[in-house]
Chain A
Amino acid sequence: MSDPERPRIGEKRSDSSQPLILPGIHRYQFFSNLKDRGWTLNLDRVALFGIVSALLATVIKPILRGNPATIYCYECRACYATQDRCPVGISLQAELVVAGRVLDYDRFIRNGGLKCIRCGNCQSYCVQYLPLPKMFEVMQHETRRAIVAGIVPKESLTRVLEQGLVGKEFIDDVVRAIA
């Protein structure tokens, strides 16, 4: 039995049955025109739930972990202009910010997060003057906690230790975790 709600081939679709794209403007789009494709509706709902959950996690996580400023980062990477003004030679500061937002320990230590001395030189390059040293400090504490709890894989820790990416205040914890 055919569904009377579903459009038939060649049938002119009315504006109001199309999804909205902007206020008052309806969308004609074969990808996201959900009304044309009832058999995938549930799959689409699951996917949408996944997307919204991921977005919420990205926003809520840094707030709960005391690093809310990371949410504001444009990820424009203007901070890369710090170059040799970074005394410990960190070149990809934005990576540390993103790592801090989502608690990506591996990304943080791989990009020299445990080497940072929080001098603040990079902060002057941030187009929003975000408190980068504070953000890195919070993530350093989180990472230390994760290292002590044995969450960070030993392979990652061994690699960064060999590459000299661990600052002296964290060396003991890293060595202990590897051992």
Chain B
Amino acid sequence: MEFLGYITLGIFLGLMLLTLFGYIRTPVQTVLVLSTVLCLIIGGFFRYIAYGWDSVVLLPNEFLGGIILHPITALLTGLFLAGGLKASGGFEALKALLGYLRRSPIGLVGTLVILINLPVISSLPCGRILAAALLPLLFTFGFEGGLGILSKSQLIVLIGAFTRNSMGSCGPSPIGGVGQIAEGFLGSFFPTASDGILRAPQAFALMLGTAIVALFLKFVSQKIYPNDVSLREAPPGFETKRGSEVKIKPPIQGFIALAIFVISLLIAIFQPLGKMPVQSVLVAGALLMIVVCRIRLNDLLEGIILLPVTAMAAGFLAAGALAATGGFKALASILNSLVSIKALGVAGMLAIFVQFQTILPLSCARILTAALVPTLYLFGPAQFNFLSWSQLAIVMAAYIINATTSCGPSPLGGGGMMGEGTMRAETGFIKGAYTFASMAIMAPMAAIFMKFLNLSVFQPSDPEFVRNIYMIGAFALVIAGVNVVFIFLGSKLFNPKSSRNFFIQLIGFLLSGGFGGGILAFALFETEITKILQGILGGIIAAFLIGVMVPKVLSKRLTATLSGPTT
């Protein structure tokens, strides 16, 4: 039966790769359903041979277990609220408030930075809630949205960075975030782990990573894919009109709807009325909008769009079929077996392991995290003893932030597609930026943060607290500095030849991946040269797998899709 897992994993990966590279020309949700059906048929056949008909009958129940309802309902809630805000004039009210903020000492840039980091500040258990509710607002900052405050290039950066921040904010959430999966396991040794041992490393890494995403989108993505964002630039002469400031007069219902939105968000985050599902609070807020702001139920329902929901659900189905047929067990076993390769060892294997969800980004991080965190846990004192408890906490921090952010670059109904849709970009536009930041900045930074600060906080006897803060500052500067240099150097070398640009980008990924792997190995094993070299090699292998999956061109794919098969 172990063999079955390898077969179904092969089917899933094969179909996904063929779709991503444009060889299968059907919508991704159809391919995911096809993968599900194939896995179930083969799984059913194997089970019939091994255990008989009873086992086959139970297979549908098992694969349905792959559906995680929470992100689906979160997305629907966000869309519901977006519909309510739109109908009541809430977005207009928000624009007016942002206008006041722009004129305050923090200015436009400060306002946008707060807006971009709003998801991690609020840390809801699914980033899709805020993204669905606020992306339509961000769109209005451009010429087409009416405000015309930002140019096309700036709007791409704003939307891309906000979506990045959103699709990672579910990690540090204390009310059902992805990070709690690992915190639960770390509770075996750290008594207060469930208070949020992984929260600060994730939030810190996510903020830094968001900034790097903004730079990458500006200096790399826009140069590699110059014609793949269909947002319109303001026509000549619009600049002068903009100078006179667009006067926005939102209706009073807009302010009320906004107040209801903010209050329900605060209740959902701080739960002053007792523990309850975030979605319920937000839906109650939306219903209150109907009563107070005199909008129709239809206005709320109009906000709901099923396409992203069904794409995500299809991802869950495929993952469920894999889980039911042992595909994830096969995956964990493959990753585990990397230890026996001498050039990789434990450090190299871990450098690949922590990047795995960015290598294979699925529609929700929870799918693979739930399957792989128990495996990672077993690398510690609980079974294999590759790592001590402190080392395990460091790896968990790196792994979880990488995993949490993996729904961003997923083309299989991932949250990043909402950002791509908003900026009217081809699927894959943001993939390079998102995967680069997760791999090169977030994972190593979370590991360093955990090593030098969080373990001190959770082990209060550590006397070197202040020195450790300096260490984190120094490492943050070095890690961010090196990657910023790579981004700038790369941007200088790009030219209209897509193959050359892809090659330069891949080299950048390999260098940053190696650097990140080395940092991770250092965080774990300090100055053991062999381990650091193994970490670098593991990082390079992971970076290669991530880098080659970043699309070389986008627009040619579209043309090929439109023209159909060539003979």
B447 at the interface (CB under 8 A from A): no
- The residue that B557 contacts in the complex, of A21, A30, A61, A102, with Cβ under 8 A, is A30
Question: Is B176 within 8 A of A81, CB to CB?
Answer: no
- A22-B305, A37-B26 are known contacts. Are A74 and B70 too (CB-CB below 8 A)? yes
CB under 8 Å from chain B, chain A span 15-64? 19-34, 36-37, 40, 43-44, 47-48, 50-52, 54-55, 57-59, 61
Question: Is A26 within 8 A of B70, CB to CB?
Answer: no
Q: Within 8 Å CB of B259, what residues of A?
A: none
B252 at the interface (CB under 8 A from A): no
Q: How far is the CA of A107 from the CA of B64 in the complex (A)?
A: 12
Q: How far is the CA of A67 from the CA of B406 in the complex (A)?
A: 32
Question: Is A36 within 8 A of B82, CB to CB?
Answer: no
Q: How far is the CA of A99 from the CA of B61 in the complex (A)?
A: 8
Q: How far is the CA of A1 from the CA of B188 in the complex (A)?
A: 68
- A9-B559, A21-B307 are known contacts. Are A29 and B33 too (CB-CB below 8 A)? no
Q: How far is the CA of A179 from the CA of B180 in the complex (A)?
A: 42
The interface residues of chain B, by DSSP majority, are classed as helix
**A55, A99, A107, A125 — which one has the most chain B CB atoms within 10 A of its CB?**
A55
CB under 8 Å from chain A, chain B span 535-567? 557-559, 561-563
- The residue that A150 contacts in the complex, of B54, B184, B314, with Cβ under 8 A, is B54
Question: Is B184 within 8 A of A78, CB to CB?
Answer: yes
| Minimum CB–CB distance for A58 against chain B, Å | 5
Q: How far is the CA of A51 from the CA of B177 in the complex (A)?
A: 25
Q: How far is the CA of A96 from the CA of B562 in the complex (A)?
A: 47
Q: Within 8 Å CB of A8, what residues of B?
A: 562
Question: Is B561 within 8 A of A25, CB to CB?
Answer: no
Per-residue CB contact flags for chain A residues 95-113 toward chain B (1 = under 8 Å, else 0) read 0001101111111000000
- A103-B61, A153-B52 are known contacts. Are A54 and B67 too (CB-CB below 8 A)? yes
- The residue that A51 contacts in the complex, of B193, B317, B370, with Cβ under 8 A, is B317
A7 at the interface (CB under 8 A from B): yes
**A33, A83, A94, A129 — which one has the most chain B CB atoms within 10 A of its CB?**
A83
Question: Is B275 within 8 A of A125, CB to CB?
Answer: no
Q: Within 8 Å CB of A32, what residues of B?
A: 27-29, 307, 311
Per-residue CB contact flags for chain B residues 343-386 toward chain A (1 = under 8 Å, else 0) read 00000000000000000000000100010011000000000000
B72 at the interface (CB under 8 A from A): yes
B185 at the interface (CB under 8 A from A): yes
- A19-B307, A47-B30 are known contacts. Are A25 and B52 too (CB-CB below 8 A)? no
A71 at the interface (CB under 8 A from B): yes
Q: Within 8 Å CB of A83, what residues of B?
A: 184, 187-188
Q: Within 8 Å CB of B194, what residues of A?
A: 78, 81, 125
A155 at the interface (CB under 8 A from B): yes
- The residue that A25 contacts in the complex, of B302, B421, B559, B562, with Cβ under 8 A, is B421
A166 at the interface (CB under 8 A from B): no
Question: Is A26 within 8 A of B424, CB to CB?
Answer: yes
Question: Is A153 within 8 A of B51, CB to CB?
Answer: yes
- The residue that A29 contacts in the complex, of B26, B58, B183, B427, with Cβ under 8 A, is B427
Question: Is B62 within 8 A of A102, CB to CB?
Answer: yes
Q: How far is the CA of A94 from the CA of B374 in the complex (A)?
A: 13
B86 at the interface (CB under 8 A from A): yes
**A8, A51, A81, A82 — which one has the most chain B CB atoms within 10 A of its CB?**
A51
Given contacts A102-B67, A151-B58, 15 further A-B contacts (CB under 8 A): A22-B421, A25-B424, A26-B421, A27-B421, A32-B27, A44-B30, A47-B34, A71-B69, A73-B70, A78-B183, A78-B184, A81-B193, A92-B374, A99-B65, A103-B61
What are 22 A-B contacts with C-beta separation under 8 Å?
A22-B136, A25-B136, A25-B421, A30-B557, A31-B28, A40-B27, A43-B30, A47-B29, A50-B36, A55-B72, A58-B67, A72-B277, A75-B370, A77-B181, A80-B184, A102-B62, A104-B58, A106-B58, A151-B54, A152-B54, A153-B51, A153-B52
Question: What residues of chain A have their CB less than 8 Å away from a CB belonging to chain B?
Answer: 7-10, 19-34, 36-37, 40, 43-44, 47-48, 50-52, 54-55, 57-59, 61, 71-84, 92, 94, 98-99, 101-107, 125-129, 150-153, 155-156
Question: What residues of chain B have their CB less than 8 Å away from a CB belonging to chain A?
Answer: 19, 22, 25-30, 33-34, 36-37, 51-52, 54-55, 57-58, 61-62, 64-65, 67-70, 72, 79, 82-83, 86, 125, 132, 135-136, 139, 174-178, 180-181, 183-185, 187-188, 193-194, 230, 274-277, 302-303, 305, 307-308, 310-311, 313-314, 317, 366, 370, 373-374, 411, 417-418, 420-422, 424-427, 557-559, 561-563
